[in-house]
Amino acid sequence: MPKLPILVLTRPKAAAQRFLTQVEAALGQEVPHVISPILQIQPIGDWPDLSGVEVILTSEHAVRGDLSGITAHCVGSRTAEAAVAQGAQVQTVAVNAEALLQKLGARPGSYVHLCGSHKAVDISARLTAASLSCRDHQVYAQVAQPLTDTARAALEGEDPALLPLFSPRSARLVGEAIAKPGRHLHVIGMSDAVAEEWRVVTGETAEFVGTPTGDAMVSGIVAALRGHVA
């Protein structure tokens, strides 16, 4: 039987393990893998007073306090589920930040974006430019971490490897952490912006999924794995 490529996972540990479980369930077998988070999530600051505002949540990591009775607008179903578990009344669920901005752009309201220290899309600035009231409140930090030697060897080596990338920043950090991508490294990004960041940093191309969702990433990785054993 052909050997599966090694799956290199650079998301925070819990998310990486969850993604691995989904991939193995969809594939129906275990997958050789390395988990080496390029980012560590650290809670920061106090939980804000949210009375009189609606919240924007672009990551489940932002859901770290009570949201009872608060109207929430979320990116991703997992973020929405986490918000509901904290008592939020989720009104909007979008596949990405751009889709969320389209839904909120013509809707008057006073918003707080509960966000991290790094944002791929500046939602507050975009809504403010559209004459809406929105401010940021950072509730977590995404702290860069070095790759393990095992992960770096897999990404730079001669053996086939698969690398899913979920954000432009993680694409940049991983690209900067390796000397050169291996000849048989297959990279799949969550969006064209992720793939473009990888190209800029490494000079190599990456695929990207048609819909920027976790399920699409699982499907893309499973298809790539099956391609190696067909």
Non-local (6+) Cβ contacts of 187 within 8 A are 162, 163, 164, 165, 181, 195, 198, 204, 205, 206, 207
DSSP state of 212: -
> So what's the pLDDT on residue 3?
83
> So what's the pLDDT on residue 105?
80
At 93, list the tokens: 């669920």
- Mean pLDDT of the chain, nearest integer: 94
Taking the C-alpha atoms of residue 96 and residue 211, their distance in angstroms, rounded to an integer, is: 9
* Residue-wise pLDDT tens digits, 131-180: 999 999 999 999 999 999 999 999 999 999 999 999 999 999 999 999 99
Give Cα separations from 87 to 38, 104, 168 (angstroms): 31, 21, 31
> What one-character-per-residue DSSP string does 25-92 give?
HHHTS---EEE--SEEEEE-SPPPP-TT-EEEESSGGG--S--TT-EEEEESHHHHHHHHHTT-EEEE
> So what's the pLDDT on residue 128?
93
Taking the C-alpha atoms of residue 84 and residue 88, their distance in angstroms, rounded to an integer, is: 5
* Residue-wise pLDDT tens digits, 101-122: 999 987 888 999 999 999 989 9
Pick the CATH number of 44-143 from 3.40.50.10090, 3.30.420.40, 3.20.20.120, 3.40.50.720: 3.40.50.10090
Residue 222 has pLDDT above 90, yes or no: yes
The third-level CATH classification (topology) of the domain covering 6-38+145-229 is: Rossmann fold (3.40.50)
Place of tokens 């819990």: 14
Q: Which long-range contacts link 79-87 to residues 24+ away (Cβ below 8 Å)? A: 82/57, 83/55, 83/57
Q: What is the pTM of this model?
A: 0.89
At 12, list the tokens: 């925070």
What are the start and end residues of each CATH 3.40.50.10090 domain in the chain?
6-38+145-229, 44-143
Q: Which has more confidence, 213 or 2?
A: 213
Place of tokens 């791929």: 120
